Structure 1
């Protein structure tokens, strides 16, 4: 029987939970030991992931829940919206699910975000479990309790902080990811290094080829180290009142890209990849880091198969369009854009920057 190889605790008092990391965990009943008892469970997945893994999860849960329901969502960032959220509520209500029903989010970041939001809202809160099947979700979006949906005017603008009961990271699923999806996940891996751990940065530079080859030990180290960093940050700042904002390195520019080109055209990690380049360049122009650091980061992002240039969002005033979208981001304050910048390698700071300088960066980094 597969065994849980590693665990990372998220320490949030009564809302604490464990991240379990290893091979073969989706189909292993041990992965779900200690979860809340209930009559029913609802597996929320999508049309891509469900045919691959839903039956394995169902088999692992069958001795724990008398009824196991399932709902399949359409696959894609463009479906992280109100209408698809309602389909989860429809499934719960049509099956007579009560407030003890446990939701299982089986999929990537979209499935995890929307399932968590549904769990936070249904009957004012029911338990849910994250079973992330993409690298991006395993190292970032499944951990920390951010849930939500997109609005046509901004990404993740409607949601709630709501912690899962457990996160089950099965490393075996990563080997089946398409190359583009895997690279998108590496953006969320890379971001942790310049904001918190330059030793991890050095490790990524040394072993990126192993990671790109899906080498199991390298992947285990990546997932564990990213979860450890995020656990430390979330444990200190669950609701992003201060420190947790550093986890958005590259995301202010990245969200503008995703919204500007239309959800699903660029993957989230692709936007973050180009966004990190812009944020690093802005850090350099403010005098925080040197050009060598920026070149190292750009090289690492490129080696991960990610874009290092942002798209043109407006032929007449591209920088103006970026600024407009970033001012609508939920991280802006009183119309002032807040950027996560690298104050020094391994240390991040959240601050504003002059529009003139931001325009220069956008003009230099977009093509």
Structure 2
């Protein structure tokens, strides 16, 4: 078992990583204010892990709230339905919400927790690679709007993040690959040695070797914890975590939420950002090749949909939440291991790359 802490003063919380966390009741019990827990999940995850979680929490009033599976259900309507269930079941202000699922479940549950009775405690129990290495850590909670991804939300930190790597063994290959896009991101923006480690451990990662997965997830969470501790509300450094997301969110919106997985869109967005960096002289051709090859090794998309060009991208990126003073902010690599947030991208260059 590995443990690290997101250092945010009195709102600090632990991240625990092991291959059997769901069986270790104390990891959850220690963070409950009362014995009333509402678990938000979807039918797929419920069928796989609800019994194991319930067995670990014997003696606690555990109630499950199921919502439909998929990014297209990460909406205000779904949020309202969850709040309705809480009201109907007489959830107290000191009840705890537990997010059991992937990024959609985590983001949705966190926003419900931030909003219900002006804020109740919640715990993240992420079951996908993407949520384990990224969305469960840092307190970003949100739902989507038809005009933009994650446009309605709040910063609201969990009481704990509990990661069980066993859940990855039931994850569809496509979902695992989508999570790898976020893993690779950390190497590009922050840690060149970690990027090389990923290149050198491809076989063990693909084989879901438990020790390798725990090391990989730990390093991702460690990097994110360091960044969040310095910049909780994304005023500067934390924006680097959005590598590939400005282009990626445009792909998701244009293609319809759920048709491209988030990590797939981030992968294509990261390659686009890398090509922009190469044209600006910030990345060498060999570095772009390494970035492309690592994504391709997990069968991730390395280009945008053929139906999308400059006009379609700009239509969506102008609504991106990273727009400031009317300017789109891009996260662009400046070499493997570092990146920059910039609005200084020549329109002609952008048009050339996107077309």
Give TM-score, length-normalised by structure 1. 0.95
Q: Is the 8 A contact 1:261 1:313 kept in 2?
A: no
Give how far 1:33 is off: 4.1
1:64-103 equivalences under 5 Å are 65=60, 67-103=61-97
Give how far 1:30 is off: 2.3
Q: Is the 8 A contact 1:260 1:313 kept in 2?
A: no
1:140 correspondence with 2:131: no
Distance in 1 separating the partners of 2:316 and 2:352: 17
Per the alignment, in what secondary structure is the counterpart of residue 44 of structure 2? coil
Distance in 2 separating the partners of 1:159 and 1:197: 29
The structure-2 alpha-carbon separation of the partners of 1:33 and 1:69, relative to structure 1 and needing over 3 Å to count, comes to: closer
1:330 correspondence with 2:321: yes
1:34 to 21, 24, 30: 30
Q: CA RMSD in A?
A: 1.0
Q: Which residue of structure 2 aligns with residue 233 of structure 1?
A: 227
1:229-268 equivalences under 5 Å are 229-268=223-262
1:144-223 equivalences under 5 Å are 144-223=138-217
Distance in 2 separating the partners of 1:240 and 1:22: 29
Give how far 1:334 is off: 2.4
CA deviations over 1:172-222 (Å, ceiling 9, x no partner): 110111110000000000000010000001101111121111111111111
Structure 2: runs of 5 or more not aligned: none
Give TM-score, length-normalised by structure 2. 0.98
- Runs of 4+ aligned structure 1 residues displaced above 2 Å come to none
Distance in 1 separating the partners of 2:315 and 2:256: 15
Distance in 2 separating the partners of 1:122 and 1:62: 26
Distance in 1 separating the partners of 2:119 and 2:348: 45
Q: Is the 8 A contact 1:116 1:162 kept in 2?
A: yes
Per the alignment, in what secondary structure is the counterpart of residue 26 of structure 1? helix
Q: Which residue of structure 2 aligns with residue 340 of structure 1?
A: 331
Per the alignment, in what secondary structure is the counterpart of residue 344 of structure 1? coil
Q: Which residue of structure 1 aligns with residue 42 of structure 2?
A: 46
Q: Which residue of structure 1 aligns with residue 7 of structure 2?
A: 11
Distance in 1 separating the partners of 2:28 and 2:36: 14
1:116-131 equivalences under 5 Å are 116-131=110-125
Matched residues, number: 354
